[in-house]
Amino acid sequence: MKPELKKILIITYYWPPAGGPGVQRWLKFVKYLPDFDIEPIVYIPENPTYPIVDGNLEKEVADNVIILKNKIFEPYQLASVFSKNKTKKISSGIIPNKKKQTFLDKALLWIRGNLFIPDARVFWVKPSVAYLEKYIIENNIDTIITSGPPHSLHLIGLVLKQKIKLTWFADFRDPWTTIGYHKSLRLSVRAERKHKALEYRVLNTADRVIVTSKTTKTEFKEITGKPISVITNGYDNEPGTEVVLDSKFSLAHIGSFLSERNPVVLWGTLAELILEIPEFKSHLELKLIGAVSQEVLDTISQYNLDSYLNNIGYVSHSEAVAYQRNSQVLLLIEINSEETKSIIPGKLFEYMVSNRPIIAIGPKDSDFADIITGTNTGVFFEYYEKEKLKNTIISYYNQFLEGKLQSYGVGLQKYSRKNLTKELAQLIHSKS
């Protein structure tokens, strides 16, 4: 006889039709949790302001999943009166380079960082607690999971934990006060202290903390003695048509290309190869799929790479997967800073199962460097390693000319969404 499913409440901001990487983690966990005797109930905003929308993802939500919705007030709705484009970019994490910020940029960042702590979804906390406290009691739910960012959702868990006897898992898809853009928010001393105080309370009140990288776990262990588990993001077995590789030597970057991720070392290397290898320029294609900052586009232009650029823009997740599989080489770029070495981009795992080699550029001791090396799916470079990067591109190009360019990944199954959900389910059942 099949055991009765254990009910858990998942509190998340990003849910279909939201697009981008933030929605994927819990969309897939919810998909597989019933296979491990857990019934997920999902709580989301009724009228969110999503910077990216992907309607195709709604097809992946199981028909029998209980979805709870409650209205949310977001200041971005008011801020868009001044500049809809700027508020949308800030909401999605694209922050202009400090040297090029306008007065309006600076004002919006100051307001975002100092008036809305921890973030602009903080006004959803109070109505959510009122709504969920009643629902949790009436439906005998004893386990909740909050997912951030936005980290204001952890404050919902914090208050509910204080009001009701329950088990609370705080899931951090990204760090809080050490995330790359945190320093760009023009925080006052008071605001910085409040962020750190809230982070401390969440980490020391939750029954268990879940993070996506070992570096974040190390950072959080300095703040709390509560148990911390690493459950990375992963890949799903996406359906697809037959793969037809690009006829060009295409280097594709998929996802948001922020100003701080601008890999000048890569653009310079490509410009040199165009001059040094006569046939290289007839084969090269640089594909950018997703939102791209103007600073990145300006630098590409400075290196005379415009004629090789195919700036495709945002596409649905299914289209992004197709671009991954069809491209010759995949680019993974992370900001060159101490704060970003813990970031493991969600797209990495889909890259790894695309059978296309990865060129990854990031800071020293990046967590994702270990994954790429350990799975034999590409090569990682620090920003100063120009000769190594150049030699790798030449090697990939020669393999392309011979029709032999491919990656040969090993040990990828551990990163499948279903296996990762099994790890999560074991944590949930162990707390029952």
What digits encode the pLDDT tens for the residues 157-203?
999 999 999 999 999 999 998 876 656 666 788 888 999 999 999 99
pLDDT surpassing 50 at residue 38: yes
Cα–Cα dist 233/22, whole Å: 10
Pairing of strands 66-70, 143-148: unpaired
Better pLDDT: 103 or 158: 158
Residues of the chain with pLDDT > 70: what percent? 88
Q: Are 283 and 400 in contact (CB under 8 A)?
A: yes
Q: What pLDDT is recorded for position 86?
A: 46
What superfamily would CATH give domain 6-234+417-430? Glycogen Phosphorylase B; (3.40.50.2000)
Better pLDDT: 346 or 29: 29
pLDDT surpassing 60 at residue 91: no
Q: Are 147 and 11 in contact (CB under 8 A)?
A: yes
Record the pTM.
0.88
Q: Are 361 and 332 in contact (CB under 8 A)?
A: yes
What superfamily would CATH give domain 249-401? Glycogen Phosphorylase B; (3.40.50.2000)
Q: What pLDDT is recorded for position 80?
A: 44
pLDDT per residue over 122-140, tens digit each? Answer: 999 999 999 999 999 999 9
Domain boundary assignment for the chain = 6-234+417-430, 249-401
pLDDT per residue over 280-295, tens digit each? Answer: 999 999 999 998 999 9
Can 6-234+417-430 and 249-401 be said to share one CATH topology?
yes
Cα–Cα dist 120/115, whole Å: 9
Cis bond upstream, residue 118 (ω within 30): yes
